[in-house]
Amino acid sequence: MKDFYRLADLKNWEEPRIRLGVVGDPVRQSRSPAMMNAALQACCLEMEYARFQISPDELAEALPLFVAHNFIGLNFTIPHKIAATARMDELDEFARTVGAINTARIDNGKLLGSTTDGPGFAQAIREEFALELRGLHILLLGAAGGAGRAIAQQCALEGCARLVLANRDFSKAERMAVDLGVEAIEWARIESLGKLDLAVNATPVAFERKVGAEYFYDLSYLRAVSSSHSANGLSMLLHQGALAFEKWFERAAPIEVMRAALAGRA
């Protein structure tokens, strides 16, 4: 298997064992193949999961090729989560509300879109900090991105006590805040927020500023963790991946095998 495949490879497809993959730009950094291939092997599913380097202007051409080559499912990562939503044949109710997807199941030639980022995030917060979203005061940075939207909906769904949305393009955060009935804050003013339970970084850039949050969760799993009250996105990667596996195969995911593969123990 190659490190990653491109649109040109899909047009001339010669890898029938590959039936699943992650689509992104860039995608080389993705750790999903290690986790998913360990899960496939543990469940004796004779197929493989690969990376696909597809740019935004190639996405429309790439999607029907995955269908034509008998793929079972896909994951979408930065920057495709919002654009891919419009290219699905069907969306589940949560994905329709969120307006972003990270998972597609291919069934009878149809692309069925859903998002496991929201529940995967909730499970990660439970596991990392022993916290439920319900009742928390939360600041969400990058709220209008694909993952940010899913997390905002999940926080609202689970009844957090206060949700403050921040986004580089403030007008997007403002629109979302109206729809969700929560607050939006300008990026420059986030230090002025009072005491918070949890700050979440759903942008691709490191967040160095001081906000009054007891816990900090950074969705990127490439950045190191600095204290026991902060965690990076590896736990969310695991849980959103396990939920995607369950959507594709309608069976429980071998979560400890996937965890070990991500930790490099497999």
In the complex with ligand NAP, the residue whose CB is nearer, 69 or 207, is 207
CB-closest chain residue to ligand NAP: 145
Cα–Cα distance, 48 to 35 (Å, whole number): 11
**Min separation Cβ 155 and ligand NAP, Å:** 15
**Min separation Cβ 11 and ligand NAP, Å:** 26
In the complex with ligand NAP, the residue whose CB is nearer, 97 or 167, is 167
**Min separation Cβ 65 and ligand NAP, Å:** 22
- 178, β-bridge pairs: none
Estimate to the nearest angstrom the gap between the alpha carbon of 6 and the chain centroid.
21
Q: Indicate the DSSP class of residue 29.
A: T
- In residues, how long is the chain? 266
Cα–Cα distance, 104 to 102 (Å, whole number): 7
Tokens of 122: 């909730």
In the complex with ligand NAP, the residue whose CB is nearer, 87 or 168, is 168
Clarify whether 247 is annotated catalytic. Answer: no
Tokens of 219: 């969705």
Cα–Cα distance, 164 to 222 (Å, whole number): 25
Start-to-end CA distance of the chain, whole Å, equals 18
Cα–Cα distance, 17 to 226 (Å, whole number): 40
Kindly write down the DSSP assignment for every residue of 64-79, as one continuous string.
HHHHHTT--EEEE-TT
Say if residues 179 and 154 touch (Cβ distance below 8 Å): no
**Min separation Cβ 227 and ligand NAP, Å:** 19
In the complex with ligand NAP, the residue whose CB is nearer, 53 or 240, is 240
User: Of the residues 81, 172, 195, 247, which is catalytic?
Assistant: 81
Tokens of 157: 């769904």
- SS3 breakdown of the chain: % helix, strand, coil, rounded to 5? 40, 20, 40
Cα–Cα distance, 259 to 242 (Å, whole number): 10
**Min separation Cβ 20 and ligand NAP, Å:** 16
In the complex with ligand NAP, the residue whose CB is nearer, 86 or 205, is 205
In the complex with ligand NAP, the residue whose CB is nearer, 113 or 142, is 142
SS3 235: helix
**Min separation Cβ 184 and ligand NAP, Å:** 12
Residues forming the site for ligand NAP (CB under 6 A):
77-79, 81-82, 117, 142, 144-148, 167-169, 172, 202-205, 219-221, 233, 236-237, 240
Q: What are the residue numbers of the active site?
A: 81
